[in-house]
Structures are given as structure tokens and as C-alpha cells.
Amino acid sequence: MDSVWSHDEVEFLSRRFGIKQGQRLHSQAEDFHFPENTFLANGYAPPGGYVKDFGIIRHEDRFHLFHIDGRPGQKCSVTGDEISFGHASTVDFRRWIRHRMPLAVGQQPWESEHVWAPYVHRRDDLFYMFYMGSGQGQTFISYATSPDLEIWTRRSEGPITCAVGRDPFVYDDQGRTILVYTGHGGARVAACASRDMVHWEPLPDLINISDAGAAESASLHRLRDGHVLWFNDYGRKLVGFRAAYALSSDPYRFDPKDINEFDFQTDIPGAVASPELPVGKPLPLSIELIARGDNSWLVAYFCWHMDRNRLFLGELHWDVQPAQIREIRRPEQMESALRHHTIDI
């Protein structure tokens, strides 16, 4: 069988990113940096690990994925699990290379046990990786910076103290950087704002859902003449789980009465609900925007498949009600989606 990588590609990418072919976790494992698999149909995951909350950013000619990396079968709160992030990149969402580990748990108490939910944002010539740290009963959001997505330096001031919650997302608005996150104490999407990335001030909650137990993985985007806020949330007593969205003309105020659930369509044979969640059907989690079209967007999300959570791609259609996400599993679908959408990241 022909290799998915040409000799010239391997040589070029090895020099560019400081990686090399032939590295394996054990003799039967796939090549770590240059896997021969194509991942579109069955989702992307690292060897021996999974993809959970993540961010994707396009730099030069490649899409870079930063994600929670953990061991299948372990809970996120178990000591020793979800202690570092994975980093992989692709040009077509089929063939992936894996980069060196970008960030792991730190020495400060608040990030000494777990690091979660990386989201990378570009401001001027610098990349900011926002993430959540956990340790010794504390949880905070902070960021690390990098000029090249490879070497990362933690924020010298430590945590952003007004951002006590989970799953950061960043939105630019008229010179301000808006840090959106899901707050503790119910199903809340909260926010802080900064003009210099150093000093932050809290904003009122974007939404507070009184009849839900908790919210996760919120994203805020402009849609036509208004805005859309999407997220995952649990029902009361953490029973039930959904991928939901709300529309508003005001990016800082969304009404729980306007919430709809995405219609998720997948044709994976034997697709099943995640055994880790209180659900009876497959669901997209931690949905991230990749590119925009007139009435459809290209999005990425993680979803349970076979034995673990993996990264998948789909087209989000706004011309139906409720909005529908149709999973992409064939190369020609992916090529068409990249060709007909404007890259947003």
C-alpha cells in the first residue's frame, strides 16, 4: 500500500516542526508524528488517547488542533489523567501530523493536577492559548503565549481572577478581547473583557439557564445581522445532555426562551451515544467554527466513536429550523466544504 506521505513531505515537515518519522509508543503502534491512517471517516485521535475540549486555529497553510489528551476509560478528574494537551495539524482534515506536547500541568497550585479546554486566539503577532487549570481545590482560567504555536510561555500574572469557570472561548469586539466561559454555579455562560490582555473586568452573564444543571463549551459568533451563542448543557440534576444554541441581536444578552437544540445527522454505521454522558443518541460536543458559507458553516466537534472520543467535521446548516449539523465522512465532501467556505480561524 502506498504511503499517505511522500518523502519530500516528511523531509519538509520534519525540518519545519522539529519532528521525525519512525517514532512509536511500542512496536505495534502507528507512527506517532506521521501516522499512515486517514482520519476523516472514523475521526481523529492520538494513539492511546482521545480528543476532548479543543481549539483549532489556521496558521500559514495548516489547521492546528490543540486538545485535551487523556486515556480512554479514565475519568477526567482521576489523578494522572488529562494532565497535558495534544497538538496536531492538517491541511485537509484527513491526514494529520502530530507535534510536540505544547503544555502540561504547572507548578502553581491552581494548575497542578489537570489542564483542560485549550482555545488558541491570535492577537497581532502573538498566539494566546487560553485554558483552564485545576488543582488543590482551585480552578481558574489563564493563558500561555507563543510566537509560532510550538513554544509556549505561561502568563506571568497567573490566573485571570475574574474568570472562575470552564471552557474558555475568545471573541473580539471593537478593540476589546471578550473571554467567554461557562461559569460555576448552574448553567451560566459568563464573560470578562480586556483591552490589553493584562487587565480584565467581569461582564454580566450572557445567559443563565435556570432549568438546567450545568453548561459547557460555549462559543459566540456573528450570524447575519445578529449573533449566535452555542453550548452543551445538562438538564436538572445533571440528567440529560444536549447541543444547543440561541440567537440574539445583542451579543451580550441571550434569552433562555430562545434556545433550540441542534439537529445532528451522522451516517456512521452503528453510531452510538457516548457511554460517558446521560444521553440516548450521538451528540456533537465542544463545537468550534472553522469556516463560513452563505447558509452553512464548517464546524468541528468531538463525538464518541468505537472506543473513545474523536474529532469529527460537519456542515452546520442555518437554512433549516432547527439548525442542522450533517457529519462529513467522505473526502469529496471535505474538499467541497473547504472550497466553498471562507476560513474563519
Whether 156 is in a domain gets the answer: yes
What percent of the chain is predicted at pLDDT more than 90? 86
Whether 169 is in a domain gets the answer: yes
Whether 3 is in a domain gets the answer: no
Whether 51 is in a domain gets the answer: yes
Quick: pLDDT tens for 105-163.
999 999 999 999 999 999 989 999 999 999 998 899 999 999 999 999 999 999 999 99
Of 242, 312, 314, which Cα lies nearest the Cα of 277? Answer: 242
Question: Residue 94 above 90 pLDDT?
Answer: yes
Quick: pLDDT tens for 72-82.
988 888 888 99
Q: Residue 276's domain is classified under what CATH number?
A: 2.115.10.20
Confidence class of residue 29 from pLDDT cuts 50, 70 and 90? Answer: confident
Whether 132 is in a domain gets the answer: yes
pLDDT of residue 1: 56
SS3 call for 257: helix
**Structural domains in the chain (count):** 1
Q: Which domain holds residue 313?
A: 37-343
Give the whole-angstrom CA distance, residue 307 versus residue 322. 30
Whether 238 is in a domain gets the answer: yes
Give the whole-angstrom CA distance, residue 97 versus residue 329. 19
Collect contacts of 243-248 with beta carbons under 8 A, ≥24 apart.
243/283, 243/284, 243/285, 243/287, 243/301, 243/325, 245/323, 246/207, 247/223
Which residue carries 486517514 as its cell? 38
Which residues, in sequence order, are CB contacts of 114 under 8 Å at separation 6+?
Answer: 76, 77, 81, 82, 83, 105, 133, 134, 135
pLDDT of residue 315: 98
Whether 236 is in a domain gets the answer: yes
Cα 136 to the center of its chain, rounded Å? 25
Quick: pLDDT tens for 50-61.
999 999 999 999
Quick: pLDDT tens for 249-290.
999 999 999 999 999 999 998 899 999 999 999 999 999 999
Which residues, in sequence order, are CB contacts of 265 under 8 Å at separation 6+?
Answer: 324, 325, 326, 327
Quick: pLDDT tens for 32-50.
999 999 999 999 999 999 9
Looking at every residue in the chain, the average pLDDT score rounds to 94
Of 252, 256, 262, which Cα lies nearest the Cα of 285? Answer: 262
Give the whole-angstrom CA distance, residue 332 versus residue 82. 34
Question: Residue 203 above 60 pLDDT?
Answer: yes
Whether 27 is in a domain gets the answer: no
Cα 344 to the center of its chain, rounded Å? 14
